[in-house]
Amino acid sequence: MLLYDKLLEINMGQYGIRLPMSPARSEKILRYLEEHPAGFPVLSLGEAAKGLGLDSPLLSRRDLERVHQKEYITRLYENFSSGEAEAEGSLEQELLKTYELVNPDGTYNRYEPDKAIKPLGELFKAILYRVSGSYLACRLALEEGFCYYLGGGQHHGRYDSGAGFCLLNDVILAARKIQAEGRASLVWIIDVDAHKGDGSAELVMFSRDRGETFVGKDPEIITLSVHMASGWPLDEESIAKAEQGRAPLVESDIDIPIAQGEEARYLPRLIDGFRELERRSGVRKPGLAIVVDGVDVYEKDGLASTALIALSKEQCLARDRLIFSYLRDRRLPSAWLMAGGYGEDAWEPTANFLASLAADSI
Ligand SMILES: [Zn+2]
């Protein structure tokens, strides 16, 4: 089952923002799958919500407050409603920070407000829609066993702010809502994006500090992150600026940093990660796995800072196939989020993986 619709495509240029994301990425994946059918249907978010008996595909404000700081969510909602422009602590300011649109000297970076045809604040509505799809993907995965969402994976979103182009953390929002509704107890997060899932690690740690997400002494979410050892957010500048006990310094339950040139060790180390997930789960079986399936590890990725890791097309496919087989063999429902991938070729690894599933008759 694939989850996608055109409303997910955010044209950042309409808000005056220039980013290296290819708006055609999902379209190219779908076109490839028309030629190489994978044998599963494509559902829109609206269709998914309706099929699940939900009034709306959107997460509620209460859902966001379960994971993020209440004051932060208030800033996003109240300033969105009032439409105040760039006031201190406003939604617009949060967006400028999240998308790194202001230089230290106050000038704009990759942002040309005079070229915008939509108010910046309206971007929140589009982001909320995208973020909400990850929860729907989890629900579909629980029903169908597997769902791939051509959206989601905003794993840098932090407790009280956005970071790294991620305003809200859909990964943890989805996991916590699924748990709050009693649909799964233990959830595994398997994050293989090139960048460390630092926001997810922070949010899970904070929820544990609040005494949430435990069964007895056992954590209910276990995070695994396989990522570049030294690229952003683990570069020297970010580490020097970081606060103790906050992202990116917070550790995932299992962190597997891959140093430059270690690509051949990627799969064996991922298998070590699976073993560690099992060890930490003990006798408990997870009810759901969320895979943050970033393909910015691809050697043809267009973001210069991801050059520190360079998996070939074959290695990307082997990685995703390994995760898929591992979860399928254990009959674990899995929701896959498309996550990072930049430039003109970012569609290739995801399209290859999905097309390869046709042979599996899932
Ligand atoms: Zn990434």
Strands ordered across the beta sheet of 288-292: 42-43, 2-3, 146-149, 334-337, 288-292, 187-191, 221-228, 254-258
Task: Give residue for tokens 């990627």.
Answer: 266
In a domain, 213, yes or no: yes
In a domain, 175, yes or no: yes
- How far is ligand 1, taken at its centre, from the CA of residue 274, in Å? 21
Distance between CA 101 and CA 254 in Å, rounded?
Answer: 32
- How far is ligand 1, taken at its centre, from the CA of residue 334, in Å? 20
- How far is ligand 1, taken at its centre, from the CA of residue 227, in Å? 9
In a domain, 248, yes or no: yes
- How far is ligand 1, taken at its centre, from the CA of residue 296, in Å? 6
- How far is ligand 1, taken at its centre, from the CA of residue 339, in Å? 7
**Two structure tokens written together for 318:** 């082997």
- How far is ligand 1, taken at its centre, from the CA of residue 337, in Å? 12
Collapsing DSSP to helix, strand or coil, 261 comes out as coil
Report the run of H or E that residue 347 belongs to, with start and end. helix 347-356
Structural domains counted in the chain: 1
CATH number at residue 313: 3.40.800.20
Q: Are 222 and 273 in contact (CB under 8 A)?
A: no
- How far is ligand 1, taken at its centre, from the CA of residue 168, in Å? 15
In a domain, 301, yes or no: yes
pLDDT the model gives residue 81:
53
In this structure, the number of other CB atoms found within 10 A of the CB of residue 300 comes to: 16
In a domain, 88, yes or no: no
Instruction: List the domain range (segments joined by +) for residue 334.
Output: 2-11+19-56+130-360
In a domain, 96, yes or no: no
- How far is ligand 1, taken at its centre, from the CA of residue 51, in Å? 31
Average pLDDT across each block of 10 residues of the chain; the chain has 362 residues. List them in order: 94 88 85 87 97 98 97 86 59 92 92 92 94 98 97 97 96 97 96 98 96 84 97 93 95 98 97 98 96 98 93 98 98 97 94 88 50
In a domain, 170, yes or no: yes
- How far is ligand 1, taken at its centre, from the CA of residue 215, in Å? 31
In a domain, 109, yes or no: no
Distance between CA 141 and CA 10 in Å, rounded?
Answer: 25
- How far is ligand 1, taken at its centre, from the CA of residue 152, in Å? 12
- How far is ligand 1, taken at its centre, from the CA of residue 198, in Å? 11
pLDDT the model gives residue 362:
47
- How far is ligand 1, taken at its centre, from the CA of residue 38, in Å? 26
- How far is ligand 1, taken at its centre, from the CA of residue 123, in Å? 21
Classify the C-alpha dihedral 116-117-119-123 as positive or negative. Answer: negative
